[in-house]
C-alpha cells in the first residue's frame, strides 16, 4: 500500500474510489458459480491506474478429480467493438493506421498498425460504440451494421471480449476528416484499400492485426466479397 493510501485510510479501487470513481474492484469473481470445478478463494487488486490488473487465487478440480490451487493475473480493460467498412461496388475497404507502442516494442518495424476501426464500449452498447468509433476514427457515419461474431481475443490473461461488425460506406456518408480524438492522444490516418490488396497484405505481414485479419477473411469467405474468391 502506498503512503498516501495509509494516510487516507483506504485503498483506491477497493474501499475508496480510484481515479475513475470505482470501488470494490477486489470483489470481482468471488461470486462466480457457473463452473463447479472452480472455487475462487481470493482476489487481489494490483493496479487500477486506468484499467484493472488483478491476481486471483482459486481451487481447480483437474480432469483426474484432484484439486490444485492456481493463481492467474487478469487485465481488465473493458469490452470493445470493431467494424469492417466496405464498399461492395468499388471492392474496397476502409482501414486506419496508427502508432501502437506495444507492437513496436515487440518486433513490429515501426509500430504503425493497419486496423479496422475499433474502440472500447465504455458505457455504450456494442452497436452504439462502434458507430461512435467509426465516426471518430474514419469520419464516416455508418448506416445499417451487421453483427458478425463476438471473440475473446487473448483469453490467457485479458478479459476483453470484442464485438465484430461490418457495414457499408460510400462517399456520401463521410461527414468529417476523422483521425480520432486528439484529446485522447489519437493521431489516426484513414486508409482506403482494394479488398484484394488487403488480403495480399495479410500474407506479406503488412496487415498484422488480429481483429482486422479476422474480418477480412470473414469478408472473403462469407461476407460481402465472397463472390470474388
Distance CA 31, CA 68 (A): 19
Residue 134: strand, helix, or coil = helix
Q: Which CATH class name applies to 80-228? A: alpha beta
The number of C-alpha atoms within 13 Å of 179 and in the hemisphere containing its C-beta is 6
Task: For 62-104, write each residue's pLDDT tens digit.
Answer: 999 999 999 999 999 999 999 999 999 999 999 999 999 999 9
Over range 99-114, report the average pLDDT. Answer: 97
Q: How many residues does the chain have?
A: 229
Confidence bin at 1 (pLDDT 50/70/90): very low
Rounded to two decimals, the pTM is: 0.91
Distance CA 229, CA 202 (A): 15
Domain range summary for the chain, segments of one domain joined by +: 3-76, 80-228
pLDDT for res 45: 97
Mean pLDDT of the chain: 93
Amino acid at each position: 500500500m502506498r503512503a498516501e493510501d495509509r494516510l487516507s485510510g483506504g485503498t483506491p479501487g477497493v474501499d475508496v474510489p480510484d481515479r475513475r470513481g470505482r470501488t470494490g474492484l477486489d470483489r470481482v469473481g468471488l461470486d462466480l458459480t457457473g463452473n463447479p470445478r472452480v472455487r475462487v478463494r481470493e482476489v487481489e487488486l494490483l493496479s487500477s491506474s486506468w484499467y484493472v490488473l488483478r491476481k486471483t487465487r482459486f481451487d481447480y478440480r483437474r480432469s483426474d478429480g484432484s484439486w490444485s490451487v492456481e493463481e492467474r493475473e487478469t487485465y481488465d480493460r473493458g469490452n470493445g467493438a470493431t467494424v469492417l467498412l466496405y464498399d461492395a461496388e468499388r471492392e474496397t475497404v476502409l482501414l486506419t493506421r496508427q502508432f501502437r507502442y506495444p507492437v513496436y516494442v515487440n518486433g513490429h518495424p515501426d509500430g504503425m498498425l493497419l486496423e479496422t476501426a475499433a474502440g472500447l464500449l465504455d458505457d455504450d452498447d456494442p452497436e452504439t460504440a462502434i458507430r461512435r468509433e467509426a465516426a471518430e476514427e474514419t469520419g464516416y457515419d455508418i448506416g445499417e451494421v451487421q453483427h458478425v461474431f463476438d471473440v475473446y481475443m487473448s483469453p490467457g490473461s485479458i478479459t476483453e471480449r470484442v464485438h465484430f461488425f461490418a457495414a457499408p460506406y460510400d462517399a456520401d456518408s463521410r461527414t468529417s476528416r476523422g483521425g480520432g480524438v486528439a484529446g485522447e492522444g489519437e493521431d489516426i490516418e484513414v486508409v482506403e484499400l482494394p479488398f484484394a490488396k488487403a488480403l495480399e497484405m495479410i500474407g506479406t505481414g503488412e496487415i498484422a492485426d488480429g481483429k482486422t485479419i479476422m474480418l477480412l477473411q470473414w469478408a472473403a469467405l462469407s461476407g460481402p466479397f465472397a463472390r470474388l474468391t
